[in-house]
Each structure stands twice: as C-alpha cells, then as structure tokens.
C-alpha cells in the first residue's frame, strides 16, 4: 500500500523548511545494501575445552586447521546469503501493481543547473548552488496577498481545488487527504501565489487505488503555463522555468524556499523509485515557475 507522500520539513514558526530525509516511490527495485553481507560469528571449541582465541601454543597444527575450517564455512555462508539476496530481489522487493516501473539509478552526478524538462527527457538534480530556473518572459509585478482557490494546468488537464495546509505536530508539512486524488495543498506559512516570494503547492502522485492530481507533473517543461485562481477574483499566470527530480536526502531547500523578489511558484510531488521496505518514494519532482501575467477571473471560475 502507498502512504501519503513526505515532503521537506518546515522550520519552527513557519520558518524555512528543511529537507525530508525520508523516501517514497512507485515500482520497487532492490535498494542498495549498506556494507557487505554479514558473516555469522562462529566459535570453535578446541580439544580440551579451550575456545577460539585461546589455542594451546604447543599445537599450531590444530590451530591452523581450525582457521581453515572456519574460513571455509564463513565463505560458504556469505556466498549463500548473496545468492539468496539476488534470487529474492525482483519479487521480494518489487511492488507488483499498475504503476510504471522506474529504474534505480546509481549515484548520478549533479547537473550544473536545473533542466528545462520535457516528455522523454530524463530529470536530474542540480548542484545546491544552482539558482531557481526562470523563463525568458519578464516577471509581472507582485500582487497583494490573497489565498489561492484553484490550480489550472492546461497541458496536464488539471483543474483542481486548493486546500490550505500547515505543519503537523512534528513540524512536517501536512499533505492533502490521501483519499482525495484531485486536491492540491498550498503551504499557508509561505507567500500566497502572486505575492512576492515562492508560493509552494503539494500534490499526491498517486493514492492507494489510483493516480492522483500530480501523477504527470514530471511531464512539465520550460515555457508551460500554470494558472492560480485567487479568492480576490484574480488569476496569477505563471510560466515554467525548469523542473528537477531531487533525492529527498539532499532536497534543495534553499532553491525551493529561498527568498525571491518576484512572485514565484513551486509545485512538488513524489517521484523516483518506490522503496517497499520504507513505503516511500525516494525522490521529489519539483517544478519552478515565475508569475508573468495576471487577469481577472471569469464569473464561472470565481
């Protein structure tokens, strides 16, 4: 079963969030083993009642034979453990369901900047010092604060209601209810969409039974349009500057939540491989956008 996505931890009193060390994902491949397989501790009993580590000095032949026997047994056990891991890995650690298989990549090098994205293009993670990507269009002047009402992404066919979310008792960002596949969460301790600074929105990739609102977020690319209908009857129009897939253990906190003079938007969901052992995806998919226009909402969308 899938558990709700985990996102970066915000700081206390609505401060800048921290990276989430947890991980969450879709199709399982075996996770890398930490260190070498262990070998059991074997205790050899010498004739006369003396234990391993306390041999009789006068009987070096017996000690040598004991060492060879122990090495042989330990070697066989280690090989057996390795074989069991390889044989059981595909089924035991895989998640057999309708989700798309994703390969576990081996420690890729970080890109110098956040990429433009695009269907069929591999998503990478940028170095921590890389700035948030911006579109070529000039930024629109920031608006007065107003809570968001709906998120509209024409390319993905998304027209979803927005729910205000805060932090839980542990200081982690709350997520929309897992049983509502079409609900987006807006982090209310940050800027409102259209206000100067990065507004942050979260959405599920999938639920326990079906795909969710941000299941195709990885298809976004440079130049795509995102609209946010606000409670004051205005629409903030954002243009995508780039997209990255970041390991949750090295989440780009400053790039996502850092201060900005222009009105910006971050859309975050889970991505990467699913770790069945932890019940989490290992990565986050992050879309970076900047407000490039505004308009009055139509009467039907108010």
Mind listing the pLDDT tens digit for each residue in 121-132? 899 999 999 999
Mean pLDDT over 282-287 rounds to 97
Confidence of residue 12 (pLDDT cuts 50, 70, 90): very low
Q: What is residue 65's predicted lDDT score, i.e. its pLDDT?
A: 52
Q: What is residue 116's predicted lDDT score, i.e. its pLDDT?
A: 97
Q: Which helix (H) or strand (E) holds 88?
A: helix 60-92
Q: What is residue 156's predicted lDDT score, i.e. its pLDDT?
A: 97
Sketch the domain layout of the chain as residue ranges: 25-97, 105-297
Beta bridge partners of 164: 186
The yes-or-no verdict on residue 294 having pLDDT over 50 is yes
Going by C-beta distance under 8 Å and a sequence separation of 6 or more, which residues neighbour residue 114?
A: 126, 130, 132, 133, 241, 242, 243, 244, 255, 288
Q: Report the alpha-carbon distance of residue 139 to residue 107 in Å, rounded.
A: 36
- DSSP category for residue 172: P
* 164 touches 186 (CB < 8 A): yes
Superfamily name and number for 105-297: Sortase (2.40.260.10)
Q: What is residue 62's predicted lDDT score, i.e. its pLDDT?
A: 52
* pTM listed for this prediction: 0.67
* 155 touches 219 (CB < 8 A): yes
Q: What is residue 80's predicted lDDT score, i.e. its pLDDT?
A: 35
238: number of Cβ within 10 Å: 27
Model pLDDT for residues 134-172, shown as the tens digit of each residue: 999 999 999 999 999 999 999 999 999 999 999 988 888
Which tops the pLDDT comparison, 278 or 108?
A: 278
* 289 touches 244 (CB < 8 A): no
Q: What is residue 120's predicted lDDT score, i.e. its pLDDT?
A: 81
Q: Report the alpha-carbon distance of residue 119 to residue 180 in Å, rounded.
A: 26
210: number of Cβ within 10 Å: 9
């Amino acid at each position: 079963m899938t558990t709700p996505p985990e996102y970066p931890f915000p700081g206390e009193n609505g401060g800048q969030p921290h990276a989430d060390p947890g991980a969450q994902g879709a199709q399982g491949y075996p996770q890398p083993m930490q260190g070498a397989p262990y070998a059991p501790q074997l205790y050899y009993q010498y004739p006369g009642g003396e234990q391993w580590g306390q041999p009789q000095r006068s009987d070096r032949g017996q000690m040598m034979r004991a060492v060879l026997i122990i090495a042989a047994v330990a070697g066989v056990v280690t090989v057996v453990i390795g074989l069991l891991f390889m044989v059981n890995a595909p089924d035991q650690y895989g998640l057999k369901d309708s989700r798309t298989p994703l390969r576990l990549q081996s420690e890729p090098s970080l890109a110098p900047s956040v990429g433009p994205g695009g269907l069929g293009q591999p998503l990478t993670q940028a170095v921590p010092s890389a700035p948030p990507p911006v579109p070529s269009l000039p930024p629109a002047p920031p608006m007065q604060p107003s809570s968001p009402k709906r998120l509209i992404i024409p390319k993905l066919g998304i027209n979803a209601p927005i729910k205000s979310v805060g932090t839980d008792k542990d200081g982690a960002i709350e997520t929309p209810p897992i049983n509502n596949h079409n609900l987006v969460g807006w982090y209310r301790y940050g800027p409102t969409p259209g206000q100067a600074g990065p507004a942050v929105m979260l959405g599920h990739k999938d639920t326990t039974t079906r795909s969710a609102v941000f299941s195709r977020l990885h298809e976004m690319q440079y130049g795509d349009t995102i609209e946010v209908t606000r409670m004051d009857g205005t629409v903030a129009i954002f243009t995508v500057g780039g997209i990255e897939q970041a390991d949750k253990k090295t989440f780009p906190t400053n790039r996502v939540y850092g201060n900005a003079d222009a009105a910006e938007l971050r859309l975050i969901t889970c991505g990467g491989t699913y770790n069945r052992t932890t019940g989490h995806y290992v990565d986050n998919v992050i879309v970076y956008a900047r407000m490039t226009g505004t308009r009055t909402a139509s009467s039907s969308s108010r």
